[in-house]
Amino acid sequence: MAGRPKAIIDWKRVDELARAHVNASAISRILGYDKITLYRNIEYKYKMKATDYLHERHDEGTGLMREAIYKAGIQGNIIAQIFWLKNRDGWADKQQVTHEILPPVQISLPPGVDEADAKMIEEFFNAKKDDNERISEEPEGL
């Protein structure tokens, strides 16, 4: 009885994709293998769990990229230098804006203003106004 032909794994391509942080499902799809076939072959060839193998390759890929960015920066690539300093040395483009909260407005009304008028004045000054709307000089009814 003949079974399926043995899968020929392109290890160079598997390593390349794993270093680029491609997950096992995507690697197997891209290369035309079943995920289980890929897992079994990794475990057979490298004598480790496939997840451990993929984590090692991910770490390698991250290390290679860091090295490439560092080398580009050392060779004068301004973008690489800025990227490195922002991500490794705390540089930022953000401007720090400090907002000051003003104390509430105190209004002193002259003696003789009745309670209804005082309430209307208070409501007028406490009303939420649209940013573009201006407060009139005097509230209506005064």
Quick check: is 75 in a domain? yes
How many separate domains does the chain show? 1
Quick check: is 141 in a domain? no
Residue 140 is predicted with a pLDDT of: 55
Residue 132 is predicted with a pLDDT of: 39
Nearest by Cα to 107 from 117, 116, 118: 118
Quick check: is 131 in a domain? no
For residue 9, what is the DSSP state? -
Do residues 50 and 39 lie in contact, with contact meaning Cβ atoms separated by under 8 Å? yes
Nearest by Cα to 121 from 133, 104, 102, 138: 138
Residue 122 is predicted with a pLDDT of: 74
Quick check: is 43 in a domain? yes
Q: Which domain holds residue 67?
A: 11-88
37-57 burial: b if 16+ Cβ within 10 Å, else e:
bbbebbeeeeeeebeebbeeb
Residue 60 is predicted with a pLDDT of: 97
Quick check: is 142 in a domain? no
For residue 76, what is the DSSP state? T
62/45 Cα distance (integer angstroms): 23
The whole-model pTM stands at 0.58
Quick check: is 133 in a domain? no
Quick check: is 96 in a domain? no
Side chain identity, residue 6 = K
User: Which tens digit of pLDDT belongs to each residue from 62-78?
Assistant: 999 999 999 999 999 99
Query: Which residues fall within 8 angstroms of residue 93, CB to CB, at 6 or more apart?
Result: 86
Which segments of the chain have a pLDDT < 70? 1-2, 105, 127-142
46/9 Cα distance (integer angstroms): 13
